[in-house]
A and B are shown apart, each in its own frame.
Chain A
């Protein structure tokens, strides 16, 4: 069992990056990601971590430098938030198509405008279709564990895809939590050295990133999507081994008091813990309610969701991003697709809330439950959703 230390989650995330023995860190400062890269630069400048810290002039270059480093066989790390992610968007897509296993922490923050530094999931949802493996963390310990998990999965030869760890800005990045560090031996046991399949080296010249004419493009894209879908088995076995080593077992979706629950909350990220407390209180009132926390976002865990929602009558999907002009939040949209052909079709109430860090309390989630029950009786159309707690509505 590793040491338990009370530490800001950002600093512990940086410590996990150090334990992963990364070679290259390229990053540009943006709130609320800053504490992670600040601490990494300290570790490098103090000689604790032997890596190149490249203080780039933009996030676009952060991802481009990471691509170049990964292409020569270096283990590359970067992290960003909202506008930074938007600026690097172009390269985010290309890194996935080039099968470069970069790992990125995304300290989730709202997309401008109005400009805001606070937390929601509008940034990550803007790159939902970028081809990276994407996971959400509920707390600081999960962020720590998933850094090591991230490299383990991304660099697996049957995967070779980049991976994003979503951690809620401020709610996770700026709080102090007890974090259980891994022992060095545990890291060595779990995470082998990066052994790339192809690298840029004069002894064996390869061409990377050539032009895809129409005759070859579709095949190239399918050859990219298949391993992303198939990565789920590697992801699940990497979680299993992680559990066997450090005793914390993770799954594509996590359940809390969900068995036989008539109504299920569905969340992503740090809201899971708050909702679990709301579930306890509602259960105390004799209400049959449970919680599903979506950890794996891409590849999307279709089967797992079908299985756990099979008995439920109602789903309350909590989204923290907007699909403008669409049918609710991105998570609700995917869940409706999951359930479309199922015999049991729970009613879905979709709330978009907590935009730009607005507090959503245990009481708010309880209110959402009661609102949802009223809605169910009214039989809403599938595209109906509610911006929760918005004044003037």
Chain B
């Protein structure tokens, strides 16, 4: 890491002031997903077409007749953002080839939450990655179906209490481990896969810009802290994102043409409990469950470092 350590630099001069995701949207206080969307929109700039899945970001940004989008934006349904983006990309390609639309570099972005990506949208995502469309797919992962009221998804972490994986007397929250969608994306042998978090804005923006430059499909998985769903104080959103990275719960890395690189190495991992204890969704965890999570995080992190 050079002197401009992306994690520490005070960034206001390094990020464009121009916003394409306008203020005035209806997201909750402290929504890190809305912040991530804003950073992504900044990184991609005006020549972008966005296909959004149904979800938090769709409802907070497009209540007719209002819109938060200063770039062209389309929402069709929940599970098909990747397919709609495929159609837009292919349609524009052929229109430019036939001379019906002037030639120009346009970035196509598909965006969805973790439910729209790891559960209901994974088929459309896999299809679009396999077909090799020139587009970026971004999963804004807030680790549950927050828009419908904090129901568990396959991206909800082990132990988390949600409204459909409640911390019960017999079953203490989510019983399964978080689905590793970046790995699934990488298994399609696409040119670029990355993880990011708006708590590390420069890292996030660099990855999005890189994804836009690369020809072919790119997948970016952005951990998006949700104070409402995680039972967390809104002012702790950015800190929670940092702790997710510093504990190794959500490592920031990229996979370029199959080569793995950890982009934010925060040194020795902090204990996972630093991350868990500030969130209400984990408040019921006993020591044995925390130990189990700790072991799993270390194991996965070591696996990642060896790739």
Interfacial residues, chain A to chain B (CB-CB below 8 A): 23-24, 26, 50-52, 54-58, 60-61, 64-74, 76, 90-91, 94, 98, 193, 200-202, 204-213, 216, 220
Are B94 and A94 neighbours in the complex by a CB distance under 8 Å?
no
Task: Find the A residue at minimum CB distance from B108.
Answer: A68
| A170→B27 CA distance, assembly (Å) | 52
Q: Which of B72-131 contact A (CB under 8 A)?
A: 72-77, 79-80, 82-95, 97-98, 100-101, 104, 106, 123-124, 126-128, 130-131
Whose C-beta in chain B lies nearest to the C-beta of A205? B72
The docked-state distance in angstroms from the alpha carbon of A206 to that of B51 is 12
Is B34 positioned at the interface, with any CB of A under 8 Å from its CB?
A: no
| B63 is an interface residue with CB less than 8 A from chain A | yes
B89 to A: closest C-beta gap in Å: 8
B48 at the interface (CB under 8 A from A): yes
Q: A23-B94, A56-B83, A61-B83 are in contact. Are A72 and B67 (CB under 8 A)?
A: no
A57 B123 Cβ-Cβ under 8 A: yes
The verdict on B167 contacting chain A, using a C-beta distance below 8 Å, is no
* Among A64, A65, A91, A202, contact of B49 (Cβ-Cβ < 8 Å): A202
**27 A-B residue contacts at CB 8 Å?**
A23-B95, A23-B98, A24-B90, A52-B94, A55-B131, A56-B83, A57-B130, A60-B80, A61-B80, A61-B83, A61-B124, A64-B76, A64-B80, A67-B84, A69-B91, A74-B87, A90-B77, A200-B49, A200-B88, A202-B46, A205-B70, A205-B72, A207-B72, A207-B73, A210-B62, A210-B66, A213-B64
Residues of B within 8 A of A54 (CB): 86-87, 90, 131
The answer for the CA separation of A211 and B95 in the assembled complex, in Å, is 29
Give every chain B residue within 8 A of A205 (Cβ-Cβ): 69-73
A76 to B51, CA, bound (A): 17
Choose one: A64, A73, A90; the contact of B101 (CB below 8 Å).
A73
The answer to whether B143 has its CB under 8 Å from any CB of chain A is no
A196 to B63, CA, bound (A): 24
Find chain B residues with CB under 8 A from A212 CB. 64
* Least CB distance, B175 to chain A, in whole angstroms: 30
For the complex, give the distance between the alpha carbons of A68 and B93 in Å.
Answer: 12
Q: Are A26 and B79 in contact (CB under 8 A)?
A: no
Contact A68 B48, beta carbon cutoff 8 Å: no
In addition to A66-B87, A74-B95, 16 A-B residue pairs with Cβ atoms within 8 Å of each other are A24-B94, A50-B97, A60-B123, A64-B76, A64-B80, A65-B86, A69-B88, A70-B87, A76-B91, A200-B73, A200-B88, A207-B72, A210-B63, A213-B64, A216-B64, A216-B65
The digit string for B38-70, where 1 denotes a CB below 8 A from any CB of A, is 000000001111010000001100111111011
Residues of A close to B91: CB separation below 8 A? 23-24, 52, 68-74, 76
Of the listed residues A55, A58, A201, the one surrounded by the most CB atoms of chain B closer than 10 A to its CB is A201
The answer on a CB contact under 8 Å between A73 and B100 is yes
Task: Specify which of A50, A72, A90 is in contact with B88 (CB 8 Å cutoff).
Answer: A72
Q: Which of A58, A66, A202 contacts B72 (CB 8 A)?
A: A202
Q: What chain A residues lie within 8 Å of B126 (beta carbons)?
A: 57
A200 touches B72 (CB 8 A): yes
Task: Give bound CA distance, A74 to B88, whole Å.
Answer: 9
Q: How many residues of B contact A (CB 8 A)?
A: 51
Please determine whether A74 and B131 come into contact, CB atoms closer than 8 angstroms. no
Bound form: Cα–Cα A44–B49 in Å: 26
Task: Please measure, in the bound complex, the distance between the C-alpha atom of A110 and the C-alpha atom of B47, giving whole angstroms.
Answer: 45
Flag if B79 contacts A52 (CB, 8 Å): no
User: Which residue of chain A lies nearest to B73 when distances are taken between CB atoms in the complex?
Assistant: A207
For A24, the chain B residues whose CB sits under 8 A away are: 87, 90-91, 94
Residues of B within 8 A of A206 (CB): 72-73
**Interfacial chain A residues near B74, Cβ < 8 Å:** 67-68, 71, 200, 207-209
For residue B21, give the distance in angstroms from its CB to the closest CB of chain A: 12
**Residue from B62, B92, B124 in contact with A57 in the complex, judged by beta carbons closer than 8 Å:** B124
Query: From A102, which residue of chain B is reached at the shortest CB distance?
Result: B87
Closest A-chain residue to B74, C-beta based?
Answer: A208
B93-A52 in contact (CB<8A): yes
Q: Closest residue of chain B to A204, judged by CB? A: B72
- The residue from A50, A56, A58, A90 contacting B98, defined by CB atoms under 8 A apart: A50
A200 CA / B90 CA spacing, docked (Å): 13
When distances are taken between beta carbons in the complex, the residues of chain A under 8 Å from B62 are: 207, 209-211
B59 touches A65 (CB 8 A): no
Within 8 A of A (CB), among B234-288: none
Known: A58-B127, A68-B84, A211-B58. A52 touches B72 (CB 8 A): no
Across the interface, do A209 and B49 meet the contact criterion of CB distance under 8 Å?
A: no
**Once the chains bind, are A202 and B71 in contact (CB under 8 Å)?**
yes
Asked whether A57 lies within 8 Å of B127 as measured between CB atoms, the reply is: yes
In the docked arrangement, what's the CA distance between A212 and B58, Å? 12
A58-B127, A205-B70 are known contacts. Are A68 and B51 too (CB-CB below 8 A)?
yes
Residues of chain B with a CB closer than 8 A to A71's CB: 74, 84, 87-88, 91
CB distance from A2 to the nearest CB of B (A): 25
Assembly CA distance A54 to B75 (angstroms): 20
The CA-CA distance from A45 to B79 in the complex, in Å, is 30
Q: Is there contact, CB below 8 Å, between A68 and B83?
A: yes
Contact of A220 (CB < 8 Å), options: B59, B64, B84: B64
